[in-house]
Amino acid sequence: MNRKLKALLFLIGTYYLMILLGGTTTAQETTVYFNDFNSGAASLNGLTIVNESSSSSVGVVSGQLSINPIGLPNSFVVANTASFAAPYSSILKNNPGTVTWAFNVSNQDGSLNNGFFFSLASSSIDPTVYTSSSYLLFGGAFVGNRMEFNGVGVGFPSVLLFEIPSSDGLGPLPSKGSFRITYEPSTDLWSVFGQVGSDYVDPTTVTKLLGSVVDSTYTSVPLSYMAWGGQDTGSDFFDNISVTVAPEPSALMLVVLGLTAGATLRLIKSGGGSAFRYTTRFS
């Protein structure tokens, strides 16, 4: 086999290796938790229901989780992240790549503004207590439709990480929200993406960035619970809740580049322009 053909085959092989690695990176995304509540009451199996008011109710209605808080005490549903599949870690910083929470949510105001929240990760089964450490998206109880992404450490909510203005926030029904929140362990970057409209969309596909922040306050401590709930009066609805873990963007490609960084490929045109010779040198 002449040198020109060898060089050509080498370049073709490298090209297809990059394509293969790109596909591998995508394929390695793992869904560690999913609940579409299509199993009715059985959808709540393994979850903890917390009603802080005896008149509140929680159930599954028309394939959605329905939470009906009565008065100021909170009502919420909790998942223990110990039940999540590998490679999820309750210490967010220890996850091997980007963690993504996605969900649909809507709320109906009652006589008081209905506040709804999605706690991504909490150190306490109750993410609203003063002693918990938690990250959560909160809305519905403010003037207008604005929402907040909060870090909770000394109250509920306590630390405003960023605000989502009314123009992008979720209003009461018939408005329906689809949200995706990501955390990148390598940079401690949190990003909230969302879409509000008359119908739900697949929350894993929304791309409109509503806000982002770098925060590592609670990312190195165990946050063993995820919770969804509401407060005051009115109904909150959640659906299609998923948590995924994926490699950091281009992580596998970076490995390949690191291994080949010390290698130098030389394609040297030889006499007459009819052949190529190449050498590979590792430092």
Whether 169 and 132 map to the same domain: the answer is yes
- 29 pLDDT above the threshold of 50: yes
- Judgement on whether residues 134 and 199 belong to the same structural domain of the protein: yes
Identify the residue with better confidence: 24 or 249: 249
Looking at the structure, do residues 90 and 177 belong to the same domain, yes or no?
Answer: yes
User: Quick one: 237 and 195 in the same domain?
Assistant: yes
Q: What confidence tier does 4 reach under pLDDT thresholds 50, 70, 90? A: low
Q: What is the pLDDT of residues 45-69, one digit of tens each?
A: 999 998 766 667 889 999 999 998 7
Residue 135 has pLDDT above 60, yes or no: yes
Single pTM value for the model: 0.78
Percent of the chain with pLDDT over 70: 71
**How many other CB atoms are found less than 10 A from the CB of residue 280?**
10
Read out DSSP for 67-80? EE--SSS-EEEEEE
Q: Note whether 83 and 153 are same-domain residues.
A: yes
- Regarding whether 182 and 280 lie in a shared domain, the answer is no
Same domain, 198 and 160: yes
Q: Which two tokens stand for residue 58?
A: 């929680």
Residue 184 CA to residue 97 CA, distance in Å, equals 6
**Amino acid letter for position 248:** E
Domain that holds residue 171: 36-249
| Total domains present in the chain | 2
Assess whether 104 and 210 both reside in one domain: yes
182 and 272 together in one domain: no
pLDDT tens for 253-278 read: 544 444 443 443 444 344 444 333 33
Q: Both 155 and 76 in a single domain?
A: yes
Q: Is residue 275 within 8 Å of residue 3, measured between CB atoms?
A: yes
